[in-house]
Structure 1
Amino acid sequence: MISTIKGDITGLDFDMIVNAANAHFARGGGVCGAIFAKAGPELDAFCAKLPKGKAGDVRISPAFGLPSKAILHAVGPIYEGTKENAQALAGCYWNCVAMAYQYKREHDLERLSLAFPCISTGIYGYPHEAACDIAVRTIRKIRSAFPDTKSIDIIFVCYEQIDYELYKKALKEL
């Protein structure tokens, strides 16, 4: 299942949620700041020990005070309009699904729910429509290349109405 909802990712009870992280995996603004605030100081302490990343990199942490079981921290690109930006953003989605699949297998889960925010569309400036297109296309490619990933329910959680409308339209066309 691939779907979208409008809401706040921090209050949702999914197996895994994705944080739109910075390269230091530290508390930031937007969805990142909200996740850290609700997860509590344990998340700050855990993430302070993670090695620095680059755009497209993903790290995993416990969810601490959040209702989910784990957080995937995906470093989105700062938008400059380059092909590398698009590849890094696609890498965020690809690497998150790969890590979620590994988690699902390690924990012997039949299904797993994975919630994505709109990575890089906030202060990193990625245009909403282009980011939505990359996200949906990447998930579709993963599902086509690796049919076993269909046991992961993908939910795009949109905080802003503009993103919700874009994802609804893109998913309807699938």
Structure 2
Amino acid sequence: MSHLSFVQGDITEQRVDAIVNAANSSLLGGGGVDGAIHRKGGPEILAACRELRAGHYGGGLPTGQAVATTAGRLPAQWVIHTVGPVWQAREDRSELLVSCYRESLRVADELGAATVAFPAISTGIYGWPMDDGARLAVKTVREADTSVSEVRFVLFDAMAYAAFAAYQ
């Protein structure tokens, strides 16, 4: 089982093997965590994402899946991009959110990453309730069969940190 840690801060400043990006399906940058990673990581990340779009991911990255690129100028080796689901009150999409964490860890294992930093996937603009997002994230990572030795949840503000830390 991975060691879990929780920090309030900026995911783009984490010195880990892989940073997980809460990407949009286009892989070409956006707002929130995605925009910050692309801005700080520099043009190398966008170039790698464009290569993915020109190949296997021509239609974009499907929700719940994950793929890795260089981390560019970030203090990590890789960025693992995953597309979280948009929260729906009338439809349980929690399996897609769980898949984001599982698939990101699977990609991390393929890369040989020992340390991985996750944001709170889907809890921003995609509207997932923070407490439920935290519960699903921590439970999924705890139960994952992975070689990753440390999973660090990097939470942007005090509210997100408190929600995740409640499950430690």
Please confirm whether the aligned pair reaches a TM-score higher than 0.5, indicating the same fold.
yes
| Structure 1 residues without counterparts, runs of 5 or longer | none
What's the offset of the Cα at 1:49?
2.4
Other structure's SS at 2:73 match:
coil
Q: 1:77 to 1:153 in 2, by over 3 A?
A: same
SS at match of 2:81: strand
Q: Give the secondary structure class of the aligned counterpart of 1:26.
A: coil
| 1:87 counterpart residue number | 95
User: Any residues of structure 2 matched to 1:118-157 within 5 Å, and which?
Assistant: 118-142=120-144, 146=145, 149=146, 151-157=148-154
TM-score w.r.t. the length of structure 2 is: 0.90
Q: Which residue of 2 aligns with 1:162?
A: 159
Within 2, Cα distance between the matches of 1:19 and 1:37? 12
Unpaired runs of 5+ residues, structure 2, are none
3-state SS of 1:170 partner: coil
> Partner of 1:102 in structure 2?
110
Change (3 A) 1:165 1:48: same
Calculate the TM-score normalised by the size of structure 1: 0.87
The structure that is helix-richer by fraction is 1
Instruction: Please report the RMSD computed on the Cα atoms of aligned residues, expressed in angstroms.
Output: 1.2
User: Which residue of 14, 26, 34 maps to 2:28?
Assistant: 26
Rounded to whole Å, the distance in 1 between the matches of 2:98 and 2:127 is 16
Give distance in 1, aligned partners of 2:159 and 2:65: 26
**Percent identity over the alignment?**
36
Contact (CA 8 Å) 1:20, 1:31: kept in 2 or not?
yes
Question: Segments of 4+ in structure 1 off by > 6 A?
Answer: none
The count of corresponding residues between Structure 1 and Structure 2 is 159
